[in-house]
Amino acid sequence: DTEVTQTPKHLVMGMTNKKSLKCEQHMGHRAMYWYKQKAKKPPELMFVYSYEKLSINESVPSRFSPECPNSSLLNLHLHALQPEDSALYLCASSQGGPGPYEQYFGPGTRLTVT
């Protein structure tokens, strides 16, 4: 199984809402990633978890809060977002360690902030 799943596929939320994006993999990978992708742009790295610990935070605003409850799951908690946060949010996973390892991407959650 080389699949990374993400839920929900689409999400519309108001600026005062709290919501969460979920990502799951069952490949035994120990590194997981969140990317943000705006339309017609490349993915931008947000966070990296390595062995369930946050290893990279690319200066992401605190209204985005990642969580890695176990080696298979990755969440992104959203609170008080702005319209400019509307984007495709991609999750990826790879083997842990120094790498380099192929990153396997999920299909993404398309987020619209109204």
Partner 1 sequence: AQSVTQLDSQVPVFEEAPVELRCNYSSSVSVYLFWYVQYPNQGLQLLLKYLSGSTLVKGINGFEAEFNKSQTSFHLRKPSVHISDTAEYFCAVSEVAAGNKLTFGGGTRVLVKP
Does position 100 interact with partner 1 (CB under 8 A)? The reply is yes
Chosen residue from 1, 16, 40, 59 binding partner 1 by CB under 8 A: 40
Which range touches partner 1 (CB under 8 A), out of 13-21, 62-70, 78-86, 90-98?
Answer: 90-98
Applying the rule CB under 8 A, the residues between 12 and 31 that interact with partner 1 are 31
Rg of the Cα trace of the chain?
Answer: 13
Closest CA to 93 of 103, 78, 84: 103
DSSP 12-35: EE-TT-EEEEEEEE-S---EEEEE
Does position 4 interact with partner 1 (CB under 8 A)? The reply is yes
**CB of 28 vs partner 1, minimal distance in Å:** 16
Which range touches partner 1 (CB under 8 A), out of 13-21, 67-75, 78-86, 89-97?
Answer: 89-97
Burial 16-51 (b: 16+ CB within 10 A, else e): eeebebbbbbeeebbbbbbbbeeeeeebeebbbbbe
Does position 10 interact with partner 1 (CB under 8 A)? The reply is no
Chosen residue from 48, 74, 81, 87 binding partner 1 by CB under 8 A: 48
